[in-house]
Amino acid sequence: MSEVLTAPKLRDCRDAFVAVLERLGAENEKVVAVCNDSVGSSKLGGFKAKFPERLVNVGIAEQNMVGVGAGLANGGMLPFVCAAAPFLTGRALEQIKADIAYSNANVKLVGISSGMAYGELGPTHHSIEDFAWTRVLPNLPVIAPCDSIETAAAVEWAATYPGPCFLRLSRVGVPDLLPEGHVFELGKANQLRDGSDVTLIANGTLTHRMLKAAEILAGRGVEARVLNMATVRPIDVEAVVAAVRDTGAILTAEEHSTFGGLGSAIAEVVVAEAPAPMKILGVPGIFAPTGSAEFLLDEFGMAPAAVADAAEALIARKR
């Protein structure tokens, strides 16, 4: 396993999510949590203890869960619909399209254990299609925070944003990367390191791996810019164009299929606005084998050293 992953201060972003949710719940009696027998996996036990009547557990029924969320919003409540990401997005996709996005219902969809957090449970439980499924929907910002600080900031933002959004969270521990007090801005990437040879872009559990890869590259005399791009929709066009202008090549990495996710969203900008060589790392369009999330990320070439190698190969393709 990559050493970066065994670093001491790894935090579970679900804790940051529920800490903010519980505070919002205390401040605003309209805040409700909706779930599908997922009180434990969504860490809603504290919310349930504090506001038992505002914890709406519909049972194992995701389509109903999302529809109920839309109705709660219509009735003036502020619902956070929380479920394992594969079932929230995959099972209830049409409800998300029609009841949430098309109806522009003020519902915050919170996908827990996204990516390959449920690695050993197999492809039914891997949520590596959810960027693709959700980012094609109008009205629905898609956000994958990289650490606890950005998670808390994004939940704060979501509570005041007057429309739906999809927050894609993991349960896999990540180190704190953004400064304390960070304010989330929709569609704005954060530059975590500057460089002129290549730009590494990631979000969620991959951002810290990119920083580590950049360190390895620095040791080889290669200067990499690192962008954390939590917002997959709307994509930060300006940051992508600047990355091409300043570094001439972009490598992306995501806990998602290489089809239709963050890399694809960036590639759409690159081909239209600033053609340049790109490398998209992720799960290469297959159903992944059994194994832990960390094992699978390494398996698919997203260990920091492998990312550094891929970045060097990409740089060789410039001009």
Q: Which is nearer to ligand TPP, 35 or 293 (CB)?
A: 35
- For ligand TPP, which residue of 14, 43, 54, 91 counts as binding (CB under 6 A)? 91
Q: How far is the CB of 87 from ligand TPP (least distance, A)?
A: 4
Q: Which is nearer to ligand TPP, 91 or 108 (CB)?
A: 91
295 binds, among other proteins, ligand TPP, none (CB under 5 to 8 A by kind): other proteins
First-to-last alpha carbon distance for the chain, in angstroms, is 35
Q: From CA 141, how far away is CA 104, in angstroms rounded?
A: 11
Task: Name the pairing type of β-strands 224-228 and 31-35.
Answer: unpaired
Report if residue 60 touches ligand TPP, rule: CB under 6 A. Answer: yes
Q: How far is the CB of 299 from other proteins (least distance, A)?
A: 8
Q: Is the backbone peptide bond immediately before 234 cis, with ω within 30 degrees of 0? A: yes
Q: From CA 136, how far away is CA 150, in angstroms rounded?
A: 23
292 Cα distance to chain centroid: 18
User: Using CA of residue 190, residue 196, residue 202, residue 205, what is the dihedral sign?
Assistant: negative
Report if residue 87 touches ligand TPP, rule: CB under 6 A. Answer: yes
Judged by CB under 8 A, the stretch of 5-13, 62-70, 134-142, 231-239 that binds other proteins is 62-70
Tell me the helices (H) and strands (E) count for the chain, helix number first. Answer: 12, 12
Q: Which is nearer to ligand TPP, 87 or 131 (CB)?
A: 87
Q: Is 294 part of the annotated catalytic residue set? A: no
Q: How far is the CB of 11 from ligand TPP (least distance, A)?
A: 24
Report if residue 131 touches ligand TPP, rule: CB under 6 A. Answer: no
Q: How far is the CB of 134 from other proteins (least distance, A)?
A: 17
- Pick the catalytic residue from 62, 129, 255, 294: 62
Q: From CA 189, how far away is CA 187, in angstroms rounded?
A: 7
- For other proteins, which residue of 102, 238, 290, 318 counts as binding (CB under 8 A)? 290
Find the binding residues for other proteins in span 255-284 (CB under 8 A): none
Report if residue 120 touches ligand TPP, rule: CB under 6 A. Answer: no
Q: From CA 33, how far away is CA 54, in angstroms rounded?
A: 6
**Of 222, 240, 236, 224, nearest to 185 (Cα)?**
236
Report if residue 94 touches ligand TPP, rule: CB under 6 A. Answer: no
Q: In what order do the strands lie in the sheet with 278-283?
A: 190-193, 224-228, 198-202, 250-257, 278-283
241 Cα distance to chain centroid: 22
Q: In what order do the strands lie in the sheet with 142-143?
A: 55-57, 31-35, 78-84, 108-112, 165-168, 142-143, 231-233
Q: How far is the CB of 250 from ligand TPP (least distance, A)?
A: 36
Q: How far is the CB of 90 from other proteins (least distance, A)?
A: 7
Report if residue 157 touches other proteins, rule: CB under 8 A. Answer: no
User: What is the helix (H) or strand (E) element at residue 70, kind and residue range?
Assistant: helix 62-74
Report if residue 118 touches ligand TPP, rule: CB under 6 A. Answer: no
Catalytic residues: 62
Site of interaction with ligand TPP (CB under 6 A)? 36-37, 60, 62, 87, 91
Binding site for other proteins (CB under 8 A): 37-41, 57-64, 86-87, 90-91, 118, 120-122, 124-125, 289-292, 295, 299
